[in-house]
A and B are shown apart, each in its own frame.
Chain A
Amino acid sequence: MNELTQLQWQWPWAFLLMFLPLAGILLTLRQRSRVLDYADSALHPWALLDRPQAGLGRLGLHLAAWLLLAAALAGPRLPVTSSNATTPDRHDVRVMTLLDVSDSMQATDIAPSRAERARLKLHALPDALAGESLGLAVFAGTAGVVMPPSTDPAVFRYALEHSEHLLDDAPGSELAVALDAAARGLPNIGESARAILLISDGETDMVRGNEVLQAVEKLREAGIPLFVLGLGTPQGAPIPNGAGGFQQLDEQPFQSRMDSSALAEMAQRTGGIFVPVSDGDDDLRTLVKAIHALPSHPAPGTSRTWNELFYWPLLLGLGLLLLAYVPRFSFKAQHAALIPTCWLLAHSLTFTPDAQAATQPPVASPSAAYAAWQRGDFVQAQLLYARLPGTQARMGEGAAAYRRGDFNHAAQAFTSAWLLSDSDPARANALYNLGNAELQAGRSERAVAAYEQVLRLRPDDENAASNLWLAQQQAEQKRMKKSRPEDPPGRKPTDFARYNEDVTPDFPPDDTPSGGDLSAGGSGAGQKRPTGEPAALNLSEADRLAAEKKMELLDDQPAPAWRAMLRRDTPERKSEGLPW
């Protein structure tokens, strides 16, 4: 009974529907009085229906049923109370990771190096968290926010991969500037907590200073706890200078040591914790546990899940409606089908899927993928094959995608299989499948090329020969359609040879320059473009490949853009400390 006191209604306005029957009754009464006023009393028995006495009971049943249906529509529900440990809710906390990219991170007292270990730890961090937003800031002689907090791990990892050399031109380790920049990257929005995760080697010269203390004090006042992952050892290690030697101070190799006590003190002052790096995931687990303890809005555990109860009034209402018509209801054999239907309805309304079974990822192995394929679960088969390396896995992935109707993905996988194959039979198989996928995707010219190559490797392949003929027909048809856009829609060519005689196809073969123009690096000289056609939409295969290559080469140079962005945000300030 205590639970019923917590009963809530999702759409309380639905109770207004209760008044509809009253309005109906009022209208009926009004109509009745008008009829009574119109006719003489002697004529009343003819003017009014002779209602049986049971009509009142039926009206009551109708009213009750209506009331229950309105209550079902209002959505009665009870909040589900679940423990914090098992709740799958997202922990809505914004965490700015502050990565030290100074030269001292190249020291190798932590294998393979401090910088490399930091990259790996941050790479694994999103998987360990429970949905916290992660941002990335870097610092050396200056600092800047590379990306604001985001819940997308792929964006975080992309930024991480490109952050290592962003501050190569700013030697030093300005932690105070970095903490200020990271705090600026965490504006106070809503009630969710904020935190900074500092990943640094914590050299003494860097962490001991009035400016750092002031920055830490600012964090404490802003309520931003500082968590520190210490990447170093008290014994320290010399810093490689990139030329085979080590950084020198007073003509002696400088030994970069981690000041654990200072880092721990900084973390403690703000309410965070300091964890030295360790092999395995223990260090991350400790940090993540501490971050989980931060307040979130909404708090995980006081979940937003509800136990929906609408089916009870719905079933009762339906039952009352059924009762209202019992005198007229005669049970027949075909009505027996209603029983399992009602049972299924009730069961489906109360069914809760087993979340554990749904979230359990299957182990990727060739046998598991093949088993999924055999039972017709092509989505699962494609996912499992995609997690396996090698030619066979690509073939499996492509075949599963083909069965799903995702021909573009299938063509991509078969292309990889073809290029990775080490024997002619395997290449022929991959090319044959590639031809099928290209044909299904509507790229008949590519399909023709694929089948022709299959026949070069396997001249007796009848399937490839017949598919080649089919692909050639489609390609020809496409070419003719393109050359005669003014043809009436109903006219279908039946004799391709005859049509070829008077048609000059302008569809450019792949080995000639095409008509597309892709900005500065567009198509080559000697090209011919049909007048009046929009250039951007008339991309040929050659244009697509040229554009892909351009994008590939451009994608190799994201650093200038990142650097320019950082320079815009970060203060122009020369580091006064040691240049590492």
Chain B
Amino acid sequence: MAPLTHADISIRAHIDNPNPWVREEVLLTVEVVDDRSIIEQTTVPWAPPGVSLRPLHATEERIQTAEGIRILRRQHWAIMPLYAGGLTLQAPTIDLRVTGQGRLSLTPDALKLNARALNPLLPADVPVSVLQLKLAPPPAAVPRGRPFNVNFSILGSGLSVRGLRHWLDESLRSTGDLRIYPPDIRLIDNIDPTQPLLQQADVRLTFESQASGQLTLPSLILPYVNPQDGSIQHATLPASSMRIEHPLWLALRPWLPWAAGLALFIVTILGSWRIAHPRWQAAKQRRAWLRALQAADSPKALRQIWQHIPATPRAQTLTQQLDAACYGSQPISATAFSALKARLIEHCLRL
């Protein structure tokens, strides 16, 4: 019995690159134009020989045609040819449940693919795609004896965890002071709707250093085949370095600026105190002396105060005059007393 057909539903398949290299992924798109009568659409299990399949995302959009509004459904696959030479690729059959017509199977026309041969010595795990590496900034300093991670991403297509692990292992070997754990690799598909083939491998490398000092991590070299010309190239992650420090020191280090600030503050206060306090005390004493000199009403009172004031060579004359005023045969006149008091105050002001 011939399969049912539908005049307003069509199917088409195309690939974006009919001449890929062996093991280079190409994008297969199957487009179904729906007149809005499709209830359900499923892909018949499909395993074409000679290629490896990776299902990608599906899209749906409305389009305006001469017959009216239609729905365009696109289903994508990544196709990786495993053999060189010509290949007839049979696209998948789509089973449809259509309103009023029951079930309908549509198969697009077969596609021609001509895969170019690679260097026969290349191992199968070398990706045939340009690789880009994105390194997350590694920590500047890490504690000794504690594991730390270095994360980076690999962008490309046709990647595999096993293949990447092999090439990472070639660059990473534990030494006596640096323990390297097996890398953790997570492959993420469909990261960019505009580049459906693009994959991202998130790699987490875990290191543990047993010695303090400057640590230089090994550089990573990942070989790949450039699909432009089939040449072998390298994606390189340069060696990064970091400080390995004692865990206690590393825990204390963030507090160091605060501690230094506090110490500086204390030193400033103490220094200021040591400088200002004697001066302030001297000024205070001088004020007390001036006040007492002002209040003195007799030479004896003046002399009693004068005895507390530090003697200077210039004060010898004043001391003699004061002694004469106190113990002389003639009592000092009020004018002379005032003059003497004024000179004593003037001397005190100069201290």
Contacts and interface: CB of A to CB of B under 8 A. Distances in A.
B221 interface: yes
B224 to A, nearest CB: 9
Nearest to B87: A524
Contact of B218 (A389, A394, A541): A389
B49 A522 contact: yes
A328 B161 CA distance: 79
Interface in A126-157: 157
Contact of B49 (A415, A512, A523): A523
Interface centre among A363, A431, A511 (most CB of B within 10 A): A511
B223 A420 contact: yes
A116 B161 contact: no
Interface string A547-562: 0111011011000000
B84 A112 contact: no
Contacts of A123: 181-182
B270 to A, nearest CB: 37
Contacts of A545: 82, 124
B271 interface: no
Contacts of B84: 510-513, 542
A419 B83 contact: no
Contact of A549 (B124, B143, B146, B170): B124
B117 A510 contact: yes
Interface in A435-467: 445-446, 449-450, 453
A279 interface: yes
Nearest to B147: A120
The interface residues of chain A, by DSSP majority, are classed as helix
Contact of A415 (B121, B173, B204): B121
B70 interface: no
Nearest to A556: B161
B138 interface: no
Given A389-B170, A525-B50, A556 B121 contact: no
Interface in B169-188: 170-176, 181-182, 184, 187
Contacts of A450: 121
Contact of A511 (B85, B88, B148, B161): B85
B232 interface: yes
B49 A434 contact: no
A103 to B, nearest CB: 17
A161 B181 CA distance: 11
Contacts of B204: 116
Contacts of B174: 387
Interface string A411-442: 00001101110100000000100100000000
A526 B49 CA distance: 11
B145 A279 contact: yes
A521 B47 contact: yes
Contacts of A294: none
A556 B187 contact: yes
Contacts of A524: 49-51, 81-83, 85-87, 115
Contact of B147 (A117, A161, A390): A117
A279 B143 contact: yes
A120 B124 CA distance: 30
A387 B173 contact: yes
Given A116-B149, A522-B49, A548 B124 contact: yes
B162 interface: yes
Contacts of A453: 119, 121
B23 interface: yes
Contacts of B148: 111-112
B59 to A, nearest CB: 24
Given A387-B173, A511-B85, A556 B160 contact: yes
A514 interface: yes
Interface in B87-146: 87-88, 115, 117, 119-126, 143, 145-146
A524 B89 CA distance: 9
Interface string B218-251: 1001010000000010100000000000010000
A466 B9 CA distance: 65
A536 interface: no
Contacts of A510: 84, 117, 120
A389 B172 contact: yes
A393 B120 CA distance: 24
Contacts of B124: 545-546, 548-549, 552
Contacts of A419: 122-123, 126, 223, 232
A120 B206 contact: yes
A432 to B, nearest CB: 12
A388 interface: yes
B122 to A, nearest CB: 8
Interface string B48-73: 01111000000000000000000000
Contacts of A111: 146-148
Interface string A67-99: 000000000000000000000000000000000
A422 B234 CA distance: 8
Nearest to A161: B182
Contacts of A523: 49-50, 83
Interface string B295-308: 00000000000000
B83 A394 contact: no
Contacts of A522: 49-50
B163 interface: yes
B47 A526 contact: no
B208 interface: yes
Contacts of B49: 517, 520-525
A364 B175 CA distance: 8
Nearest to A281: B145
Contact of B120 (A117, A449, A517, A525): A449
B82 A521 contact: yes
Interface centre among B82, B148, B208 (most CB of A within 10 A): B82
30 contacts: A112-B149, A116-B206, A119-B184, A120-B147, A123-B181, A161-B184, A279-B146, A280-B145, A280-B146, A394-B170, A415-B123, A416-B170, A418-B121, A420-B223, A420-B234, A422-B221, A434-B121, A449-B119, A449-B120, A449-B121, A453-B121, A510-B117, A510-B120, A511-B117, A512-B85, A513-B85, A520-B47, A525-B86, A542-B83, A550-B52
Top 9 closest pairs, chain A to chain B, by CB:
A524-B50, A511-B117, A546-B82, A548-B124, A520-B47, A419-B223, A524-B87, A549-B124, A510-B120
Interface of A: 111-112, 116-117, 119-120, 123, 157, 161, 279-280, 363-364, 387-390, 393-394, 415-416, 418-420, 422, 431, 434, 445-446, 449-450, 453, 510-514, 517, 520-526, 541-542, 545-546, 548-550, 552-553, 555-556
Given A419-B122, A514-B83, 16 more contacts: A119-B184, A279-B145, A389-B172, A389-B218, A416-B170, A513-B85, A521-B47, A521-B49, A521-B82, A524-B49, A524-B81, A524-B115, A549-B124, A555-B160, A555-B161, A556-B161
